[in-house]
Structure 1
Amino acid sequence: MKFLRLGPVGTEVPCVLDAGNTARDISIIIHDFTPETIPAIGALLADVDLSTLPIVEQDGARIAAPMTQPRNVYCIGLNYSDHAAEAGMDIPAEPILFNKSAATFCAPNAPILFSPKMTKLDWEVELGIVIGKRALNITKADALDHILGFTVVNDLSERAWQLERGGQWAKGKSFPNFCPTGPWIVTPDEVGDAAALPMWLDVNGGRMQTGNTNTMIFDAATIVSYLSEFMVLEPGDLICTGTPPGVGAGMKPPKFLKIGDTVSLGIEGLGSQSQTVVALEGSLWT
């Protein structure tokens, strides 16, 4: 099943794509995809005939983030073996965890905001995990039962803030609109364990990242189980699981985003997204 939200800011309509990829309005069943409603989605939709629900026209419609703002956004660093090789770093023995402000969460095609204080704005195509029900101290075998689905994320980063300003990585990861997410959340029954999904990212039409989730060091189930050892994972929490090679910081010489650049990215089966870098002053945030 694919969940998405369509419509203007503040009036988004929760939808499910049917077998023909037609968007069906499910607001009569669930008012929106929120941390509070996500645990009930499966039961509420289990016996619904989607063909009986209203069609929402997709052509020209704004694609919103596929759920409302999560309570938490967690990230796993250096989680692709080929990216670790690109960075010249050792394979981590345990997942490297850091936080990204939940306020970074935005629609998949929202603009990338460029602050005049930025100098090294970088891109990262990533597989996102959306938690479906509360998890604490769960096993790897049980992890998929706690996952609502998978999505596409661009884990944008200001490398100078992240690596040259001291302290936590969060400061380079948490600017507004630094987490475009979507277009869909795709449930595990369609994706499986997401262990072999091709992924890509282009800047201004040129291919920068080509990867596959089969080079992830820690897979989705391992990550969810591992994080649940240290914290409660709540419904709607988003976990960004790392990026394959081809980030700007890893190029020789390094390459970073500037105003006017376009970034397009996607993961097979999970859809694609596109953003344009715009000046912060006078820009739209959604």
Structure 2
Amino acid sequence: MKLASLKEGGRDGTLIVVSRDLSRAVRATGIAATLQQALEDWSNLAPRLAALSQALNEGSADGVFDVDVAQFAAPLPRAYEFVDGSAYLPHVARVRRARGAEVPESFYTDPLMYQATSAGFSGPRDPVKVVDESYGIDLEAEIVIVTDDVPMAVTPAQAAAHIQLVGLVNDVSLRNLIPQELAKGFGFLQSKPRSTLSPVFVTPDELGDAWRDNKLHLPLLTHVNGAWFGAPEAGVDMQFDFAQLLAHAAKTRPLSAGTIVGSGTIANEDTSKGASCFAEKRTVETLESGAATTPFMSFGDLVRIEMLDRDGNSIFGAIEQRIERQPLP
């Protein structure tokens, strides 16, 4: 099934079920008012949501309306937790090589992960608001999974059973603010504003054989200002699968229902498949020609992030948003 939230009913939106072709929807408020509420009682409510999804796709549901993605909030307008990994080591290796550093051996056995911003996510058509272009505005096209309640110290095999939904994220970064923050040795803060989630989240069964080994085996397609930017294969070169990332996050603490876990920027060894962020593209340029030539993003630029199934159908709908100046208060 495919789930989304409308921009109504307060900060957490109104839960809706969306048809497989993303054209129609029905409110699910008779089952759960919000997606967060559904996740907190997932074992009981998911079968009822699935039945409503089946009725919608068969044409027998009541209260059906046409989808208008502009009215969509993020599926989870806010989450209790968002932890973002860096599971694609080709990206990590290239960035480090560009500055003359090697990848530590531990990176191959112990996932990189940080605590990301979760108090609010932008809707799929909301603009990216930034005060100053000089911050180095970058997109990051990633995959996310969403959990029910996860016990502390689960194994990867146990963690896999807690992956309930899959989606996309534009994990916006302000690259020129990152070096000073990392130099302090205490991680990201100002350099990581709010992220944007795909129009819908889907249950893994919707992905068919593209979801296997706790990875999503399809290209993640990014366009900037209508031009192809990249389509790296998400199932290739992923050092840690989502179950491993989830187990890593839960090693010393339980995770609340609605926790979002990010894959990190999708990147392949094969650079002909393009990039999922400007930092990656600029790093490849530096390695190939000695200097980065592509600037970071500017006000007015348009980002589109989407994943298509093998028949060319959009799975999660598209994140499509413009970079805009945020006025000072």
Counterpart position of 1:66: 75
The 8 Å contact of residues 195 and 219 in structure 1, kept in 2 or not, is answered as no
1:163 and 2:179 matched: yes
Structure index of larger Rg: 2
Could you state the TM-score of these two structures normalised by the residue count of structure 1?
0.87
Query: Which residue identity is paired with 2:2?
Result: K
1:188-203 equivalences in 2 (<5 Å): 188-191=204-207, 192=211, 193-203=214-224
Shift in Å at residue 32 of structure 1?
1.0
Could you state the TM-score of these two structures normalised by the residue count of structure 2?
0.77
SS of residue paired to 1:208:
strand
Q: Could you say if the C-alpha distance between residues 132 and 173 of structure 1 is closer, same or farther in structure 2, counting changes exceeding 3 Å?
A: farther
Runs in 1 of length 4+ with deviation above 6 angstroms?
none
Counterpart position of 1:143: 159
1:267 and 2:324 matched: no
% identical equivalent positions: 23
SS of residue paired to 1:170:
coil
1:38-117 equivalences in 2 (<5 Å): 38-47=39-48, 48-49=51-52, 50=55, 51-59=60-68, 61-77=70-86, 79-87=87-95, 88=97, 90=103, 92-93=107-108, 94-116=110-132
CA distance in 1, matches of 2:188, 2:167: 21
The 8 Å contact of residues 77 and 120 in structure 2, kept in 1 or not, is answered as no
Shift in Å at residue 13 of structure 1?
2.9
Counterpart position of 2:228: 207
**Unmatched segments (≥5 aa) in structure 1:** none
CA distance in 1, matches of 2:159, 2:131: 38
Q: Could you say if the C-alpha distance between residues 212 and 105 of structure 1 is closer, same or farther in structure 2, counting changes exceeding 3 Å?
A: same
**Unmatched segments (≥5 aa) in structure 2:** 268-274, 283-291, 309-314
Identify, as 1 or 2, the structure richer in helix.
2
CA distance in 1, matches of 2:178, 2:88: 19
Cα distance per residue 1:112-152 (max 9 Å; x no partner): 11212743111110001111223321121122211121111
When structure 1 is superposed on structure 2, of 165-174 and 274-283 the one drifting more is: 165-174
Counterpart position of 1:27: 29
The 8 Å contact of residues 225 and 303 in structure 2, kept in 1 or not, is answered as yes
Query: Which residue identity is paired with 1:248?
Result: F
Shift in Å at residue 254 of structure 1?
4.4
How many equivalent pairs are there? 279
CA distance in 2, matches of 1:135, 1:16: 28
CA distance in 2, matches of 1:154, 1:271: 13
The 8 Å contact of residues 77 and 123 in structure 2, kept in 1 or not, is answered as no
Identify, as 1 or 2, the structure richer in strand.
1
1:223 and 2:245 matched: yes
